[in-house]
Amino acid sequence: MTAQLIDGNALSKQLRTEVAQRAAALRTRGITPGLAVVLVGENPASQVYVRNKVKACEDGGLYSVLEKHPADLSEAALLARVEALNNDPAIHGILVQLPLPAHIDAQKVIEAIAPAKDVDGFHVASAGALMTGSSGFWPCTPYGCMKMLESIGYDLRGKHAVVIGRSNIVGKPMALMLLQKNATVTICHSATPDLKAMTLQADVIVAAVGKRNVLTADMVKPGAVVIDVGMNRNDEGKLCGDVDFAGVKEVAGYITPVPGGVGPMTITMLLVNTLEAAERG
């Protein structure tokens, strides 16, 4: 069997068209959804990410400001900037790009963001809201994965979902979102003794480790849905995920490619969250 692709670019395009329409509707009420992106230092990958986020805002009719600060910005100065953005009525979403320089306590900065503007969904209040099923912002990457499952009409009720990885940004929130849709969820990680025994039972596998070939064809039940969150480089320097795509696509029912899968969905869900923040007022 050859798996069907879940095309993150195509789905993003569709969702971004909806975002642009909703942003236009808000503008007629005198509200332009606004995102502030804060970058500290010169991490090259972060520079690319923030540029893409700002560009996506412009394309979607959202207002965005990119604040670039030198690497030696003090923690107190960054906290003061966050506070100013919390109080800025033109800004509905605040994103502080991670990683931050070592002298800044990233969690402290995240907790300083007003939960109503936490469009990254990293604040403990957002995490708590997801855990308890109350209203808050969902982290963009797992939220994008859920949209991908929704796009194929996949009903998670009673299905076994295996999440590989337990980060606060992807693995843990992913597991909670799958649980909220009534899947039976297993979280696997570096101390899981027999990963293959777990993944072979899975109807849905989400690989979010950050290591190539974590999931190979022999570990996948025929017809399973495979979502690849990984962003790695192979020996030729080409972008690849955590999944051995060439092998697994012969076994899985659905699979997300890298690039063109989860990656574009992350930025799309950031736009969705920012729009939602503006709509909530």
Catalytic residues: 53, 97, 120
Residue that is written with structure tokens 């100065």 in the block: 77
Closest approach, Cβ 99 to ligand GUN, in A, equals 7
H or E segment at 64?
A: strand 63-69
Closest approach, Cβ 52 to ligand GUN, in A, equals 11
Residue closest to ligand GUN when measured from CB atoms: 98
Contact call for residues 205 and 220 (beta carbons, < 8 A): yes
Closest approach, Cβ 124 to ligand GUN, in A, equals 15
**Helix 171-180 vs helix 124-132: crossing angle, to nearest 10:** 30
Per CB under 6 A, 248 contacts ligand GUN: no
Residue that is written with structure tokens 């800044």 in the block: 104
Closest approach, Cβ 29 to ligand GUN, in A, equals 29
* Residue among 137 and 254 whose Cβ is closer to ligand GUN: 137
Within residues 95-134, the interface with ligand GUN by CB under 6 A covers 95-98, 120
The residue type of 88 is D
Burial of 279 (C-beta count, 10 Å sphere; 0-12/13-18/19+) = middle
* Residue among 118 and 203 whose Cβ is closer to ligand GUN: 118
Spell out where 46-145 has E strands: 63-69, 93-96
Contact call for residues 50 and 58 (beta carbons, < 8 A): no
Residue 206 bridge partners (DSSP):
163, 227
Specify the stretch interacting with ligand GUN by CB under 6 A; choose among 26-34, 94-102, 183-191, 203-211.
94-102
| Number of residues lying near ligand GUN (CB under 6 A) | 7
Within residues 140-179, the interface with ligand GUN by CB under 6 A covers 140
Residue that is written with structure tokens 């994008």 in the block: 144
Contact call for residues 162 and 194 (beta carbons, < 8 A): no
Residue that is written with structure tokens 């642009």 in the block: 20
* Residue among 141 and 199 whose Cβ is closer to ligand GUN: 141
State both tokens at 225: 């849905």
* Residue among 94 and 164 whose Cβ is closer to ligand GUN: 94
Sheet holding 184-188, edge to edge: 4-5, 254-255, 225-228, 204-207, 160-164, 184-188
From 118, 274, 8, select the one nearest 109 (Cα to Cα): 118
Closest approach, Cβ 4 to ligand GUN, in A, equals 27
Closest approach, Cβ 140 to ligand GUN, in A, equals 6
* Residue among 204 and 229 whose Cβ is closer to ligand GUN: 229
Binding string, 12-51, against ligand GUN, x = CB under 6 A?
-------------------------------------x--
* Residue among 96 and 209 whose Cβ is closer to ligand GUN: 96
Which parts of this chain interact with ligand GUN (CB under 6 A)? 49, 95-98, 120, 140
